[in-house]
Structure 1
Amino acid sequence: MLRFITLLTLLFLALEPLARAQSAAAAGSKVTVSGYLRDAANGEALVGASVVVKSLGVGATANEYGFYSLTLPRGTYTVTYTFLGYEPQNLTLTLTESQTRSVRLAVQGVQTGEVVVTGTKPDENVKSTEMSTNRLDMKTVKLVPALLGEVDVIRSIQLLPGISTVGEGASGFNVRGGGVDQNLILLDEAPIYNASHLFGLFSTFNPDAVKDIKLVKGGIPAQYGGRLSSLLDVRMKEGNTQRLGVSGGVGLIMSRLAVEAPIVQDKGSFIVAGRRSYGDLFLKFVPDQKDNQAYFYDLSAKANYTLGEKDRLFVSGYLGRDVFAFGKAFKNTLGNRTGTVRWNHVFNSRLFANVTALVSKYDYGLGVPEGNQSFEWKSNIVNYSLKADFNYYRTPQSTLNFGVSSIYYTFLPGQVTPLSATSIFRPIALDNQQAVEYGAYIDNERTFSPRLSAQYGLRLSMFDYLGGGTVYDYEGPNGRQKTPVNPRQYDKGQLIKRYPNLEPRASLRYALTDNSSLKASYNRMVQYIHLVSNTTASSPLDVWTPSTKNIKPEHADQLAVGYFRNLRDNAYEASVEVFGKRMDNQIDYINGANTLLNKNLEAELLYGRGRAYGAEFYLKKNEGKLTGWISYTLSRSERRIDGINNGNWYVNKYDKTHYLSVVGIYALSARWTVSGTFNYSTGIATTFPDSRYVYQGLVIPNVNGDVRNNYRVPAYHRLDLAATREGKIDPNRRWHSSWTFSVYNAYARRNAYSIYFRQNEDNPAKTEAVRLAVFGSVLPSVSYNFNF
């Protein structure tokens, strides 16, 4: 980390004279207008807002902090500032020298009975170089039917093409056939390692605190690394810089409250948002359940302050916890904690910098509090990160992005401590692990002509696996538990293994017409940390482990090609994408692998190749009384691991051949909106027995041969409905409220989460298959929401 700070200091010292030289050069024939674009009502940055000079046919887009820069010849121009859902502003500027011009846009007047379901420019899907990218506006997310009436970010993105899950109650999501650990989930740039509450029923993101959601499945910019499948970038609100605002809601299982206000008007603001479920409070009214606990809570906070004309500071944090307990018999806790400090600095009108320091921790614990079986088991992963990102606006046709980063990891794989002298458990402690991941990147967004644009770059990453502890080699045939040999002891901080990698990225757009384009992207991704789980869905007890001498980094090469078209003046947008992805060093497990508290975990692991390919279809209606989208994915995801399935390709546990989502939102009036979603997908792949044998009167299911995932559970489908009633619309009244009524699983489909086999109770000589459904009935709910 000290080396990184030294490098960062040298980089800043080198950029300062470059910035001054560039400013002097700009004083020639061209000048630059730059500044921030914000919401006039609350001061929130307008990410992706547009700045256009129509007479020259040039423009710029605001970055994730609302900053823009546009270089023009000297002269007088009409500059248009626009953002979807806001009144455009036209300013006539006489540019004789570079100047700063920050603009606030006002929200457009609401049209009675009309809904807009996009938070980006209406033609961005056609005009931008980005592909395999989706943005969701929180206004849209809040209208979609939700489980038990609670708006959820993760469940909303599962309605998009290429996104799936293994079923209700499953943590995380799967992107283009990848595992849940292959998604880089960021909350204000801090990584989240388990983005769920209540074992996957709800996500960690409080909707009252979220401003922007961006999901990238392909063509991932060189700025991001460390995962194979996707980037989910969640940005929190910055807080109202104009006045006090309070919002929240009361539902059947949880309540929420958010407060935002200025620190100093127009200079700084804050937001604090919290929520808590109260299932444990109801348990106290049931005599035989009063000592049990089942609840979660989280707290999100963010503050920002303008230090000067060129500097702005952001501080944000998240704290979330789940608690489950069965009296004195068992207790389980898990949670995430993050803290982020960011400093924005404008060197000059063309050079923008963001420096971030952050910490993120995920931990879980379980145990028995009292008695002769009392023990405490804990595990965690912690990372400390420092990074610097720069945007250099060379010309209206070219933006250069570059930066460096460093991450220090610590892993506690597992530690068991007896809580009494009479406990039957003995202390167990696996070796702590440390690692450092470095990254440097450069990326260029370039418009070659009105029809052709590209974004291309290169990321250099390096991973150092560090001691101390004991390192083994492993010998034995693949498919069986290996034997540890040749133990070697390393001191703390001593380098054990180093992995350097180059990761090229490129995206290309060619405009066929004003409302259609072809796009292609390629990216190589490398993942250095891995989630070890031999269950169908991840669980809180899964273990994060770094790449070691024996566990190599995962690699993925993905190529995607797509056709994008808008219809009827951008009222409709449609796209078709085909993709292919090859993955190396994929991890699987021997049959009956023990992944918990195993100091020789690497003896249970197998490695091989993966591949995923498919087509994604997307049709979206953006405007009018009826809005929504239809997404359909046809795909395949397979693995070939030496020691599994006789070395042949087999579908992995995330494979779903068909995945269909339909979302409809209809504005009945200015106060009533109804919505519905329908999901259909192929059942998950699993291994079923094909024979049985009897041992001491017990019928035991058996699988003949070395097969994996030879059957599928029945297809999944579900219909959800919702209706939202807004309070009386009075522009002179600050208090606003709404009621949301929803029905989850409207026709009571008993979707199989898993199927297991047992002896028939009436005839023990027979074996029966049993369907396990998380939700097998209709779940109605109601929630009340307010803001002022």
Structure 2
Amino acid sequence: MRAILLGATFLICSTLWGQNTGTIQGNAKDKNTEEPLAYAKVFVEGTQMGAITDFDGNYSFEVPVGTYTVVITINGYEPFKKFNIPVNSGNVETVNFELESVTQEIGPVEVVYDENKIAKTTDMITPLSVQKLTSVEIESNPGGNFDVSKVVQTLPGVGGSSGGAQRNDIIIRGGAPNENVYYLDGIEIPVLNHFQTQGSSGGAQGILNVSFIEDLKLSSSAFDARYDNALASTFVIKQRQGNREKLSGNARVGFTESVLTLEGPMGKKNDFLVSARTSYLDFLFTLIDLPIRPNFSDFQFKTTFRPNNKTTITALGLGAYDRFNFAATREDNNETEFLRRSLPFITQWNYTTGVAIKRRVEDGFWNLAISRNMFDNQLDQFEDARNGEEEFRNFLLESQEIENKFRFDYNKYVNGWKYSFGVMGQYVKYNSNLFNKVSGAVLDSAGNELVPAIIIENESAIEFFK
């Protein structure tokens, strides 16, 4: 009996202890060559909690639940630290480091770090036109609502459209919203907002799951030549790794939407991230008797494969489905109800998927990215609100954009100089379909057609390489 009680007490204590700790893990590498940094010291500022990176630059250690500043130091590199790292019960928080080398004289070396220094404010590598945001800064931004575009609009030199909070248009130094280019782990993503205006980047709500983001770099000028088609700015978004220790996840139910996120290992060296979200704005607006019925859903995933210590293969994808229509309210009369139900409704869907391969070479690395993205925008209107019945269709406007992209770049860092070259190509296709019933047929009392219906129809398709 005593043994049973002791065993039960041990299990309870172990459970309580497990519920009050979390794990900080990550990787350290050279910023310019991508080489892993072995034997770097990673620790929580002001404590003895920490670990030493292994040969592949990885580290992991447990800490009590709380918010910490994590510091890394290694001989030959600038010390670096990241603030406000939250550690939750039983979860793994990934903190990766990219360090810049420093010139040192031969002789005794003392490693120190400046308590008030996060990174260089400006130099030839990080000019003033480059701004970076971490996931913690994005999530904690007041009014950002876990939306990347809304947070970016608060940065210096960045503005939004006159639509205010209803639009996520990003205007850099007076440039148009469609003059910005967005990259997610090396894959270009032309659509990152729900209810996006075709040909622009803005929309009412962001698609990206903020909890997947490790950091975001905005370059409003002097961006790399490999980021083609950028006239105003480039956004380089890096996603974090999945939990390589165990399967974990969370569910969030909000006032307007619900989100489910899962992550975990796929073997010893591989991991995955996946999330899905759906809104119930249409149900909410029905309760408060508004005539608009917006609704959206999206998904996002990332899988990382590491066949060896020099090669990383990343497969990712994201997509969205949006619908916007009008409905009658309780105060509408018959005429108003008929008008609302006869209004056009909008359906949009899009996806981006791709594979990126990164391989380290001597004093550098190369990237290969292959991707495909598609955007479909459709406007429908039916007679007498008989939606879906083709014989009662009055209007259809469907537009599609399909892009298949290939990109390769090679990067070397020798004696303080960085060399990059590469090649890219795109196969692009645009489809459009128009159906417009200008007027219906005029029939006599016997049902014979006196005047035929006037209908305008047009289909077009354009495809080219660039």
1:354 aligns with 2:367: yes
CA gap 1:144/1:153 in 2 versus in 1, 3 angstroms: same
SS in 1 for 2:282: helix
1:253 aligns with 2:256: yes
- The aligned residue for residue 402 of structure 1 is 421
How far residue 187 of structure 1 moved from its aligned partner, in angstroms, is 2.7
Task: Provide the rounded CA distance (Å) in 1 between the counterparts of 2:248 and 2:433.
Answer: 45
Aligned-residue Cα RMSD (Å) equals: 3.6
- Which structure: greater helix fraction? 2
Task: Provide the rounded CA distance (Å) in 2 between the counterparts of 1:82 and 1:124.
Answer: 20
Task: Provide the rounded CA distance (Å) in 1 between the counterparts of 2:124 and 2:25.
Answer: 26
- The aligned residue for residue 349 of structure 2 is 335
How far residue 108 of structure 1 moved from its aligned partner, in angstroms, is 9.0
- The aligned residue for residue 159 of structure 2 is 164
Task: Provide the rounded CA distance (Å) in 2 between the counterparts of 1:351 and 1:83.
Answer: 28
Q: Amino acid of the residue matched to residue 204 of structure 1? A: I
TM-score, scaled relative to structure 2: 0.67
How far residue 90 of structure 1 moved from its aligned partner, in angstroms, is 6.3
- The aligned residue for residue 426 of structure 1 is 455
Structure 2 portions without partners, runs of 5+? 1-21, 70-82, 86-94, 100-117, 197-202, 328-340, 385-391, 442-452
- Which structure: greater strand fraction? 1
How far residue 184 of structure 1 moved from its aligned partner, in angstroms, is 0.5
1:178 aligns with 2:191: no
Task: Provide the rounded CA distance (Å) in 1 between the counterparts of 2:256 and 2:460.
Answer: 40
- The aligned residue for residue 104 of structure 1 is 58
1:416 aligns with 2:416: no
- The aligned residue for residue 237 of structure 1 is 240
Output aligned runs, 1:539-550, within 5 Å.
none
Task: Provide the rounded CA distance (Å) in 1 between the counterparts of 2:298 and 2:39.
Answer: 43
How far residue 250 of structure 1 moved from its aligned partner, in angstroms, is 2.0
1:345 aligns with 2:342: no
How far residue 323 of structure 1 moved from its aligned partner, in angstroms, is 0.6
How far residue 114 of structure 1 moved from its aligned partner, in angstroms, is 7.2
Q: Does the Cα contact within 8 Å between 2:24 and 2:61 map onto a contact in 1?
A: no
CA gap 1:90/1:244 in 2 versus in 1, 3 angstroms: closer
Q: Amino acid of the residue matched to residue 35 of structure 2? A: Y
Residue from 185, 192, 195 that aligns with 1:195: 192
- The aligned residue for residue 151 of structure 1 is 146
CA gap 1:306/1:326 in 2 versus in 1, 3 angstroms: same
- The aligned residue for residue 322 of structure 2 is 322
Q: Does the Cα contact within 8 Å between 2:24 and 2:63 map onto a contact in 1?
A: no
How far residue 243 of structure 1 moved from its aligned partner, in angstroms, is 0.9
Task: Provide the rounded CA distance (Å) in 1 between the counterparts of 2:418 and 2:39.
Answer: 20
Residue from 222, 236, 248 that aligns with 2:225: 222
CA gap 1:370/1:317 in 2 versus in 1, 3 angstroms: farther
Task: Provide the rounded CA distance (Å) in 2 between the counterparts of 1:191 and 1:312.
Answer: 18
Q: Amino acid of the residue matched to residue 361 of structure 1? A: M
CA gap 1:382/1:83 in 2 versus in 1, 3 angstroms: farther
Output aligned runs, 1:595-610, within 5 Å.
none
TM-score, scaled relative to structure 1: 0.41
- The aligned residue for residue 313 of structure 2 is 313
Q: Amino acid of the residue matched to residue 404 of structure 1? A: V
- The aligned residue for residue 376 of structure 1 is 396
- The aligned residue for residue 204 of structure 1 is 207
Q: Does the Cα contact within 8 Å between 1:172 and 1:196 map onto a contact in 2?
A: no
Task: Provide the rounded CA distance (Å) in 1 between the counterparts of 2:425 and 2:282.
Answer: 41
Output aligned runs, 1:428-577, within 5 Å.
428-429=457-458, 431-437=460-466
Q: Does the Cα contact within 8 Å between 2:272 and 2:301 map onto a contact in 1?
A: yes
Q: Does the Cα contact within 8 Å between 1:322 and 1:334 map onto a contact in 2?
A: yes
Deviations 1:235-284 (A, max 9, x none): 2333211111212422211121110011113x111111111111122345
- The aligned residue for residue 92 of structure 2 is none
Q: Does the Cα contact within 8 Å between 1:209 and 1:300 map onto a contact in 2?
A: no
Task: Provide the rounded CA distance (Å) in 1 between the counterparts of 2:238 and 2:285.
Answer: 35
Q: Amino acid of the residue matched to residue 254 of structure 1? A: E
CA gap 1:226/1:403 in 2 versus in 1, 3 angstroms: same
Task: Provide the rounded CA distance (Å) in 1 between the counterparts of 2:190 and 2:290.
Answer: 35
Q: Does the Cα contact within 8 Å between 2:352 and 2:374 map onto a contact in 1?
A: yes
CA gap 1:420/1:247 in 2 versus in 1, 3 angstroms: farther
Q: Does the Cα contact within 8 Å between 1:188 and 1:340 map onto a contact in 2?
A: no
SS in 2 for 1:208: helix
Q: Which has the higher contact order (CA 8 A, sep 6+)?
A: 1
How far residue 168 of structure 1 moved from its aligned partner, in angstroms, is 2.4
Q: Does the Cα contact within 8 Å between 1:410 and 1:432 map onto a contact in 2?
A: yes
Q: Does the Cα contact within 8 Å between 1:42 and 1:240 map onto a contact in 2?
A: no
- The aligned residue for residue 759 of structure 1 is none
Q: Does the Cα contact within 8 Å between 1:134 and 1:215 map onto a contact in 2?
A: yes
- The aligned residue for residue 685 of structure 1 is none
Residue from 399, 402, 405 that aligns with 1:385: 405
SS in 2 for 1:142: helix
Q: Amino acid of the residue matched to residue 376 of structure 1? A: L
Task: Provide the rounded CA distance (Å) in 1 between the counterparts of 2:44 and 2:124.
Answer: 15
Q: Amino acid of the residue matched to residue 55 of structure 2? A: R
1:278 aligns with 2:280: yes
SS in 1 for 2:211: coil
How far residue 110 of structure 1 moved from its aligned partner, in angstroms, is 7.8
Q: Amino acid of the residue matched to residue 319 of structure 1? A: G
SS in 2 for 1:281: helix
Residue from 113, 119, 125 that aligns with 2:121: 125
Structure 1 portions without partners, runs of 5+? 1-39, 51-59, 71-77, 92-99, 438-788
Task: Provide the rounded CA distance (Å) in 2 between the counterparts of 1:427 and 1:194.
Answer: 31
Q: Does the Cα contact within 8 Å between 1:192 and 1:360 map onto a contact in 2?
A: yes
Identity of aligned residues (%): 20
Q: What count of residue pairs does the alignment treat as equivalent?
A: 360
